[in-house]
Chains A and B, each alone.
Chain A
Amino acid sequence: DTAVSQTPKYLVTQMGNDKSIKCEQNLGHDTMYWYKQDSKKFLKIMFSYNNKELIINETVPNRFSPKSPDKAHLNLHINSLELGDSAVYFCASRGGFLNTEAFFGQGTRLTVV
């Protein structure tokens, strides 16, 4: 059973399009994240949700809108895609206060052409 699963794994789309990436975790964790890994492999947090509530929004453009319908799901919708959005997007989850380990999905490689 996959602990944190993202779909799709690969996404190629044209500039200006709108796309979504879905994430689901079956670990019963309260906290979920979206991270962006750029072409230089640098990982930067975008959003953090705790029990469906937005906790962290790291100065991400408004074109990125996360949605958490329940605490097991955190989807990422991106409007008006730009070339600079090309990256690998990782979903992750983490348990409660004392559960420090973050479990990552396999990543979604987004390519905007």
Chain B
Amino acid sequence: AQTVTQSQPEMSVQEAETVTLSCTYDTSENNYYLFWYKQPPSRQMILVIRQEAYKQQNATENRFSVNFQKAAKSFSLKISDSQLGDTAMYFCAFMIQGAQKLVFGQGTRLTINP
């Protein structure tokens, strides 16, 4: 069974700082996708960034980037120039290519302080 682990239940940084959220996963599959979702207090689940396992290049979306280490099964999210609006729960998620199931980690509560 696939599992996703986020080892940081909570993190807190000052506005404009850079923060990195950790995620590790366990799978014997070779083709899969990894995601980071953001859940602000509004409860809405918002996709932040996506990475295909077959791509060596790390995905980036504006201030958000990932460090994907396939051999280590690690998928961390870096948020640069953090903003107050980045305050949210962040979930790492995994899906095998062709499968129906998105498996989530436990989440990291990120607080950006003014």
Contact = CB atoms under 8 A, between A and B. Distances in A.
Do these two chains interact? yes
Contacts, number: 50
Interface stretch (A18-26, A62-70, A99-107): A99-107
A64 to B, nearest CB: 17
A43 B91 contact: yes
A55 interface: yes
B43 interface: yes
A26 B5 CA distance: 33
A45 B102 contact: yes
A74 interface: no
Nearest to A31: B100
Nearest to B100: A48
Contacts of A107: 43-45
Given A41-B106, A42-B107, A100 B50 contact: yes
Contacts of A102: 47, 102
B50 A101 contact: yes
B43 A88 contact: yes
Given A97-B98, A100-B33, A101-B50, A106 B104 contact: no
B4 to A, nearest CB: 10
Contact of B104 (A42, A50, A56, A103): A42
Contacts of A43: 91, 104, 107
B91 to A, nearest CB: 7
Contacts of B98: 97
A31 B109 CA distance: 29
Interface string B43-57: 111010010100000
Contacts of B106: 40-42
A67 B109 CA distance: 34
A73 B89 CA distance: 28
Contacts of B44: 104, 106-107
A106 B100 CA distance: 21
Interface of A: 31, 33, 40-45, 48, 50, 55-56, 88, 90, 92, 97, 100-104, 106-107, 109
List of 5 A-B pairs having minimum Cβ-Cβ separation, nearest first: A104-B45, A43-B104, A48-B100, A100-B33, A107-B43
